[in-house]
Structure 1
Amino acid sequence: MNATERIEAACSFLLQSPPGEINDVLNDVRNIISDDDSLHEGVLPALKEYNLSQFMTVDVPGTDHQSIVSEAARVAATQEGQERFIDPRSKTSFLFDHLSLVRPEASDSQPEEPDADSEPFRSALEKATLTYLAAHFHDGVTSVFSSKEAANQFVIQVVANKYNPTNYWAGRWRSSYTIDLNENTVRGQVLVNVHYYEQGNVQLSTTHTISLSLPAAIVTSSPSSSASKILALIENEEGKYQESLNDTYQEMGEKTFKGLRRALPLTRQKLDWDKVLGYKLGAELASSKGMFGGS
């Protein structure tokens, strides 16, 4: 395997990193590359892609909250390895170094004036989303943007991480919604990634697409009322998705996992499936809101 092929392999491994484990994966692929300078240069595009798609979070300088680093937040590219992102909540932008994996950091905070026409509704959406976040994701982070694509479009993004290496699991919940007041629609996705690795290696990666039409009564309400009703619709959809995950993993525990094994394993003793369920693997994977800190 030549140097280019090794870099490509390293990038592939990085992009498949489970939640909270990308630094561990990077340390492992160092053994493949054996050259830190070449490694950093070669994997930088993969790290950028990973950070943006996984909604990496950073402490915003001068504030007491975190902001999401994503494509919706990106405002400009700067020097090598760094880009500028916006935090609409504090009305600032900051530099982010994609190579700072151990503790992602923001720097060089600067004022960023919002669009005067869209800010009232964006701010109302932000307030409603923060209320929703506090109710369901204790350690979650949200950023709400005015869309860069068109007027009267807004993007809500939420990420919640739970890292529990002591019990051999880690998980990430991401959701992203585009609210289009021109078409009166809400379109988005919920993405759940979980890694469970006690005496094995089980990963869950699932995507749920949501598409809603907004009644005229919601769109014509005040920004505060409209935003609260939109978040209520999102809450209802995410609640139904959580229930579907619960049902799926209950069925897997009762049927699918049993079907994967022969009647008698090599020990010639029957497997105690009730004991297996006692490990609560299905519950850990399915109870997304409980797992990510909510109720």
Structure 2
Amino acid sequence: MSRTAALSSFIDSAPPGELADVTKAIKSILGTESVQNELSPAFQKYNEEQFTTTKLPGGSTEVLVSEYNSLGDGRYYDAETQSSFAFDHAMGKASAVQSHVLESQQEDLLKSLAKSLSTHASEHYPKSSHGVYPTADDTALAILTVANKYSPTNYWNGRWRSSYVYTPSSGTITGSIKVDVHYYEDGNVRLLTEKKVALSVGSGSGAEVMRKISTEEKKYQEDLNRAFGSLSEGAFKSLRRQLPITRQKIEWEKISGYRLGQDIGGGRR
């Protein structure tokens, strides 16, 4: 494996909200700034796959960066603000905003879906960014949502991503839901899950399409809750010692009288 490929793999596996930390670690190890240009394709791949969000200069809302709203040459567009912008993948900043009017044969359906998606996101993902974009051949619509929650002071970060392609001619929705959570206090624990989605809705309205999607996402969240319940009573519980090595429960009211490493640890006096 080449150096570039090896370093790109680190970028590709960066947890939510920690790309800057990973990049800083790579630079500190290699002691060079040239790595930023070397890894430019890796930054772009990461940002587009992770639905990285950015604020437009002078704007207040976060807009998405993805392959679906790419105009090429490092520029992307936002349908809601009817604008396009340049995006620096290494720095994560937008610039050079221009007017951009989206043209699509699916315009009415796109607007209907965007409205329903906005309502859905505000109800279930308060801190999220989303968008509806025509595919390259303009025969289908991509429906994207990303919700980030970062809490580095508590040593955890998380991201929800859902992406679907709705094809009106066949009445089908295909896509996936991805959840990525990283907890790193005194260690590293990471949850990476993906659920493939395949639904049939017929030639429905934007509201009907979003009802199908909403039902699927709710079901997946309930499945995750049940899985965590099973883990806490099963695998996670078995990871911690239920009794000290002496096999005796600690009498907490007498804790000041214990001699650490002997009475608790079972060592000889």
Equivalent residues of 2:104, 2:138 under 8 A apart: no
Matches within 5 A, 1:79-98: 83-98=74-89
Q: In the superposition, relative to structure 1, how do residues 207 and 20 fare at CA in structure 2: closer, same or farther (>3 Å)? A: same
Counting helix residues as a fraction of each chain, which structure ranks higher?
1
Counterpart residue number, 1:20: 17
Deviations 1:168-220 (A, max 9, x none): 1100000001110011111111000000112221000110111111135xx2x
Superposition RMSD in Å: 2.1
- Matching of residue 40 in structure 1 with residue 36 in structure 2: yes
- Matching of residue 245 in structure 1 with residue 236 in structure 2: no
Equivalent residues of 2:179, 2:193 under 8 A apart: yes
> Aligned pair count?
250
Deviations 1:212-258 (A, max 9, x none): 11135xx2xxxxxx111211111110000000000101101101123
- Aligned equivalents of 1:270, 1:138: Cα separation in 2: 48
**Shift, 1:60, TM fit:** 2.6
Deviations 1:85-127 (A, max 9, x none): 1111122111001111xxx221111222222532221111111
**Shift, 1:65, TM fit:** 2.2
Equivalent residues of 2:179, 2:191 under 8 A apart: yes
What's the secondary structure of 2:220's corresponding residue? helix
- Aligned equivalents of 2:65, 2:206: Cα separation in 1: 23
Identity over the aligned pairs, expressed in percent?
36
Larger radius of gyration: 2
Q: TM-score with structure 1 length normalisation?
A: 0.79
- Matching of residue 181 in structure 1 with residue 172 in structure 2: no
**Aligned residue identity for 2:144:** Q
- Aligned equivalents of 2:5, 2:29: Cα separation in 1: 11
- Aligned equivalents of 1:106, 1:40: Cα separation in 2: 17
- Aligned equivalents of 1:92, 1:180: Cα separation in 2: 25
What's the secondary structure of 1:55's corresponding residue? coil
**Aligned residue identity for 1:173:** W
Q: In the superposition, relative to structure 1, how do residues 123 and 200 fare at CA in structure 2: closer, same or farther (>3 Å)? A: same
Q: Identify unmatched segments of 5+ residues in structure 2.
A: 251-269
Q: TM-score with structure 2 length normalisation?
A: 0.86
Matches within 5 A, 1:17-166: 17-37=14-34, 39-61=35-57, 63-77=59-73, 83-100=74-91, 104-115=92-103, 117-151=105-139, 153-166=140-153
- Aligned equivalents of 1:148, 1:93: Cα separation in 2: 17
Equivalent residues of 1:76, 1:85 under 8 A apart: yes
Q: In the superposition, relative to structure 1, how do residues 122 and 32 fare at CA in structure 2: closer, same or farther (>3 Å)? A: same
What's the secondary structure of 1:163's corresponding residue? strand
- Aligned equivalents of 2:62, 2:187: Cα separation in 1: 33
- Aligned equivalents of 1:22, 1:136: Cα separation in 2: 26
- Aligned equivalents of 1:183, 1:251: Cα separation in 2: 39
